[in-house]
Structure 1
Amino acid sequence: MQTKLTQEEEQIVDYIENGNAKSIENVKEEITRFTQMAKEQTSKKKAISIRLSESDLYLLKKKALAAGISYQNIIQSLIHQYTHDKIKASL
């Protein structure tokens, strides 16, 4: 099965395959540095307070229990998907 690449991904592949990409001297240190930056970014969390209707919270907890995950993780996932344009909200 052929993977469909985005336009940006295709540009990256072309850049590399055309020999334009050059390695840097301290690759291992840079990999370590960027790995640490990514870990720090994904581990930063901010507590918020939100008011939900009791019925919505009940249904959310019921679905979370059935899925075997916490309702907070469902909320976090929905917000992440929405902010990264993976899902749309009908407001």
Structure 2
Amino acid sequence: MSRLDQEERELLEAFETGELKRAPHAENIQQRHQKYAEAMFKKDARINIRLSSKDLRGLQKKALAEGIPYQTLVTSILHKYVEGRLHEER
């Protein structure tokens, strides 16, 4: 467990000694968030776009560096933009 930082080691120790307790209604909260995640990542529409081969190669390189398929990266970028969490730097 040497890869854990100090805070992680303290949390693990508290868990192992039984000091940590589940939050009330944790099961319900977990199920609700699971449904949110499933709905958010449900892919039920298809689009086709044209972009430059240079931009496609750039997306593929970034995705490779992140360890994800480039289509997933594009989907993530679009989702963040639509949700207002991706802004252009000026």
Q: Give TM-score, length-normalised by structure 2.
A: 0.52
Q: Which runs of 5+ in 1 are unaligned?
A: 1-27
Quote the residue 1:85 is aligned against.
Answer: 84
**Does 2:59 match 1:57?**
no
Mapped partners of 2:61, 2:77: distance in 1: 16
Letter in 2 for 1:53: S
Q: Give TM-score, length-normalised by structure 1.
A: 0.51
Mapped partners of 2:68, 2:34: distance in 1: 27
Quote the residue 2:44 is aligned against.
Answer: 45
| Higher normalized contact order (CA 8 Å, seq sep 6+, divided by chain length) | 2
**Does 2:69 match 1:70?**
yes
Quote the residue 1:25 is aligned against.
Answer: none
**How many residue pairs end up in the alignment?**
59
Superposed CA RMSD in Å reads 2.5
Percentage of pairs with the same residue: 39
Q: Report matched runs for 1:27-46 at 5 Å.
A: 38=36, 41-42=39-40, 43-46=42-45
User: Is the CA contact (8 Å cut-off) linking 1:82 and 1:89 kept in structure 2?
Assistant: no
Q: Which runs of 5+ in 2 are unaligned?
A: 1-27
Q: Deviations over 1:27-53 (max 9, x none)?
A: x8xxx8x77974663324211101110
